[in-house]
Structures are given as structure tokens and as C-alpha cells.
Amino acid sequence: MSKNFKFKNFVESHNFVNQVGNIAEQENHHPDISFGWGYCKVKIFTHAIKGLAESDFILAAKIDKI
Amino acid sequence: MSKNFKFKNFVESHNFVNQVGNIAEQENHHPDISFGWGYCKVKIFTHAIKGLAESDFILAAKIDKI
């Protein structure tokens, strides 16, 4: 699954990415992140099962709370 | 232009991304960055001219020095 986030500038995107990265390390589950000026896209997937696992939804929920 | 970078884990990718983000702010020129566990791809482009400008090469050189 993936979700797009919008921001006012690069610094805000970057700050969001840092928070996502910190959560990923806490959860030991790592999304694929694309970002630049004013945007961030977070993709979450469990490669081992080629699908979505509980850990994906936990990670997504924590990112949504940022 | 774009360049792929490889890393040992997510933390190293994330640290690299932070350095790229700081350089982008210093240069006031912002790449598109994709990263995840062990990788980072940096895309540099000047949308205003739909091509590459001097500032793109300066940014790329500074990122290459990280």
C-alpha cells in the first residue's frame, strides 16, 4: 500500500521523512520513501510474503499519526 | 540526471538522505529522493528549463562528496 503526503516546502517534507525513518527503525520494518519539494510518498509492503502483513498496518497507522 | 547509492542497512540510507537534504537546503536546490533499506536514488533536474543547469551539477558534485 502507499500514501501520498503534501507539504509546504522541502524542509517540511524532509522533517516528515525523518519521523517516518525513526518509526521504521523502532518497528524494525522499513518502507520505501520518495520525497522532494513539498511531497512524500510512503510505500509499505512485506516482500517475504509478497503482500501485506500485520506489521505493515502497524507501521502505516504510526506514520498516519505523525 | 540520477544516481543510485547502496548502503548496508536502513539507518545508513537514512543518514545519507539527511546529508543530501541538508545540502539541498544550503544550495536552495532540491532533488527528488527515493530511499529504503540499503539504497537511495537521487534525481536532479531543473524543471524551469526542463533540463540541467549549472546548479544541478553543483548539487550533484556536493552529494558525490558525502
Q: Does B35 contact A at CB distance below 8 Å? A: yes
pLDDT value of residue B9: 97
One-letter-per-residue 3-state SS of chain A: CEEEEECCCHHHHHHHHHHHHHHHHHHCCCCEEEEECCEEEEECCEHHHCECCHHHHHHHHHHHCC
Whole-prediction pTM: 0.95
A25, A30, A37 ranked by CB distance to B30: nearest: A37
Closest CB to A36 among B25, B32, B36? B32
Share above pLDDT 90 across residues of chain A, in percent, rounded to a whole number? 97
pLDDT value, residue A60: 97
**Cβ–Cβ contact B59 with A under 8 A:** no
Residue B46: the pLDDT is: 94
For residue A63, the model assigns a pLDDT of: 98
pLDDT at B65: 97
Residue B58: enclosing H or E segment and its boundaries?
helix B54-64
Q: State the pLDDT at residue B13.
A: 98
Are B37 and A30 a contacting pair at CB < 8 A?
yes
Q: Is A34:B33 a contact under the CB 8 Å cutoff?
A: yes
CA of B49 vs chain A CAs: smallest distance (Å): 17
pLDDT at residue A40, as a whole number: 98
Can you tell me the mean pLDDT for A10-37?
97
Confidence at residue A46, expressed as pLDDT on a 0 to 100 scale: 94
- Residue keyed to cell 511531497: A39
Residue B38 phi/psi, 5-degree rounding, is: 85, 5
Contact in structure between B58 and B37 (CB atoms under 8 Å) = no
> Distance, in angstroms, between A23 CA and closest chain B CA?
11
pLDDT digits (tens, 9 = 90+) for B9-61: 999 999 999 999 999 999 999 999 999 999 999 999 998 999 999 999 999 99
pLDDT at A27: 96
Partner residue opposite A36 with nearest CB, options B11, B31, B36: B31
pLDDT for res B62: 97
Q: Give the integer Cα–Cα distance in Å for B18 and B15.
A: 5
Contact A33, B22 (CB under 8 A): no
Contact of B31 with B40, CB cutoff 8 Å: no
Q: At what angle do helices A10-27 and B10-27 cross, to 10 degrees?
A: 170
On whether ipTM exceeds 0.85, the answer is: yes
